[in-house]
Structure 1
Amino acid sequence: MGTLVGHVAPGFAFFALGFWHLFNHIKLHSLHGNSYSSSPWFPTSKLRYIELFLIMIGSSISISMELFIGPERHQPFDPDGTIPSNHLHNFEHSAISMTFFTYAAFAILLDKISPKAKYSLTQFLGAVAFAQQLLLFHLHSADHMGVEGQYHLLLQSAIVVSLATTLMGIGLSKSFMVSFIRSLSILFQGVWLIVMGHMLWTPGLIPKGCFIHSEEGHQVVRCSSLEALHRAKSLVNIQFSWALIALTIFAMAFYLVLVKLYGEKVTYSTLTKEDDLELEEDSDDVESQKQSKYGEPKSFIVTGKGYAAMDRERSIKEK
């Protein structure tokens, strides 16, 4: 993963997954606002499990790249069977992909075998995958102090949102906002990984005072002074802020467009003379139903007369 392609490829996968979920949640909420219920994944008309199959395929490719294709000797171990230091990050990245593969595989099995518990358990598996991702990026073997570490730190904030909303979704399956924010956070992970890949491994985009340096078999960004490092980190923070603003604008515009396209249509019709007569008959029926069991109407006037008679009897007794 420590290359441009190694970040852009998984970034595109997260972006596509988040966009697919965002589109389907908004469409579902627009069509069925009152009866909306979230879904951890969305089938298609031609192939029900296409989303889960793609997650499994992408995870398998990522594992293969990290453990067998990327290493120089096409295997991640030293001759004595131990893990070399420069391959630790490969095992960390592959563990994340393995967890997402597990999520997708069990989501298919749950849908086939246990439909009643598939939603909550699938959400739980998704939470495990995001928790694994957060743990390994937080305890990453790569540099935490440099420019790359700043990108990873900000990436963790998006993962935290994905994890929190996935856990909340277990008990709040009818909350559109929980699903909306979760989809947007997954999409944002993809955007940030793509930005990270280009900014860290494109020489022309390296901040002033910093340079690409090869360490332990992979390239990292180093800065010539403490001032240059602080400036580079500040630029990363600004990039994150701009990306967040752009994504917010995109999400709101996308929501408004889909609501316009798929929103529930309210139809109006003019009343005919027959409809007016039916309404008058219905109103008469309602009034007739207000009569008491003795056949007398329950009106304010009759009630008032009853109270007046009681007052006259009370005044005669007093005299």
Structure 2
Amino acid sequence: MAGLFTYLLGGAGIFLIGASESIFSSSETLKDISSLNSLQPPTPNSKSKSKSKSITSLIFFSISLISFLFILNSLISIISALKSNDQTGVVLQLQVISISILFFLFSILGLFTNLSNSIKIPSQLLNTLCLFAFIEEFIMFYLRKKDLDGIENRYYDLLLVPITVCIVCTLLELKGSSFKPGYSRLGRGVGLVLQGMWIVQMGFSFYSNLITDGCFIKEKSRGNFTIRCKGHPEFHRARAIATLQFNCHLALLVCFVVGMYGLVSKKYGVSSESLQYKPLGAEMQHLDQGRFTLDSDEDEDEVGDRNGGVKNEGNVAVETTVNGYGSHH
């Protein structure tokens, strides 16, 4: 139960951080869009600035708290691995500690920058620390395959998807001028939400019967375990169930994003002029002022022949020839 509690606490914390990041960045982005639609420059007052500052400080504080808890949990797991003479478990937890230290340093520096007027650390440096932490996390889960027959490897492979989203969005935020930072922070927040949801799912799957019948957990120490199955049918069934669970989490994430966007846009709605909608027949309205016909020139020639070989073109009468001879005046 201790392992399940660890996964639940860590996943829930990452989910809340990602949700706060997504909601805050989307509200700021919609504020900018609404100010552009109203053709008025944004005029931030002291109240809005203090509110934004407090929310950002709360996000940094949450990151530092979750990172500290990860470090503490890894230290406890290292002590358990040393008692069990498990060198692999020690190495795995050292990797987790190194990643957690990067996130902890990122959050502490961001918190000092946001609260202090004397300490100003460039955002490029903070984003670089965050990028290195996500890349190291990606490498750890990509190479964490102690047992090739372990079902946990499938869960680790699927966890690479939200980590990749966070890496890409952090890279876009580093560009700054070429990409709006609000959208990159929004994407990173959504990636953190999916990552937190999947860590919670991993906890339930590893420490309960939500994988499949015939699979069991085998622990060498507190932080070093594997999920084995009795045979190939159970193994393939467990991998299929993991993929199905991930697809369900993606569907829940879509519902979360749509609901969040509806709530935020209701408060900071975008005016209808921003849609730049034009009716489908607007470009054809100028044709109503002229004369438009589907008659071809051949039809006009036939009409002219029936009228005695004379057809009118404006105010000029043109006489056609008959058998090669024209009339002479």
Distance, in Å, in 1 between the alignment partners of 2:142 and 2:149 is 12
Deviation (angstroms), 1:46:
5.4
Distance, in Å, in 1 between the alignment partners of 2:181 and 2:110 is 21
Deviation (angstroms), 1:21:
0.7
User: Hey, what does 1:205 align to over in structure 2?
Assistant: 210
Distance, in Å, in 2 between the alignment partners of 1:234 and 1:130 is 27
Percent identity among equivalent residues? 23
Deviation (angstroms), 1:182:
1.5
Unaligned 5+ residue runs, structure 1?
A: 37-41, 267-319
Decide which of 255, 260, 275 is 2:266's aligned counterpart: 260
Unaligned 5+ residue runs, structure 2?
A: 43-49, 273-329
Distance, in Å, in 2 between the alignment partners of 1:85 and 1:14 is 26
CA deviations 1:267-309 (Å, max 9, x no partner) are: xxxxxxxxxxxxxxxxxxxxxxxxxxxxxxxxxxxxxxxxxxx
Matched, 1:93 2:96: yes
Aligned pairs (5 A) from 1:74-93? 84-93=87-96
User: Hey, what does 2:136 align to over in structure 1?
Assistant: 132
Q: What code does the residue aligned with 1:155 have?
A: L
User: Hey, what does 1:56 align to over in structure 2?
Assistant: 64
In structure 2, do the counterparts of structure 1 residues 54 and 142 end up closer, same or farther at CA, with 3 Å as the change threshold?
Answer: farther
Distance, in Å, in 2 between the alignment partners of 1:127 and 1:85 is 26
In structure 2, do the counterparts of structure 1 residues 164 and 144 end up closer, same or farther at CA, with 3 Å as the change threshold?
Answer: farther
Distance, in Å, in 2 between the alignment partners of 1:156 and 1:265 is 38
User: Hey, what does 2:74 align to over in structure 1?
Assistant: 66
In structure 2, do the counterparts of structure 1 residues 12 and 43 end up closer, same or farther at CA, with 3 Å as the change threshold?
Answer: farther
Distance, in Å, in 2 between the alignment partners of 1:45 and 1:152 is 35
Deviates more, 1:148-157 or 1:179-188: 179-188
Q: What code does the residue aligned with 2:73 have?
A: M
Distance, in Å, in 2 between the alignment partners of 1:58 and 1:233 is 30
Q: What code does the residue aligned with 1:158 have?
A: P
Deviates more, 1:89-98 or 1:256-265: 256-265
Aligned length: 255
CA deviations 1:39-70 (Å, max 9, x no partner) are: xxx97565863322232222122212211x34
CA deviations 1:70-91 (Å, max 9, x no partner) are: 4556xx6579xx9823322222
Distance, in Å, in 1 between the alignment partners of 2:150 and 2:119 is 47
Matched, 1:179 2:185: yes
Aligned pairs (5 A) from 1:143-162? 143-162=147-166
- Over the aligned positions, Cα root-mean-square deviation in angstroms equals 3.1
TM-score (norm 1): 0.70
TM-score (norm 2): 0.68
User: Hey, what does 2:107 align to over in structure 1?
Assistant: 104
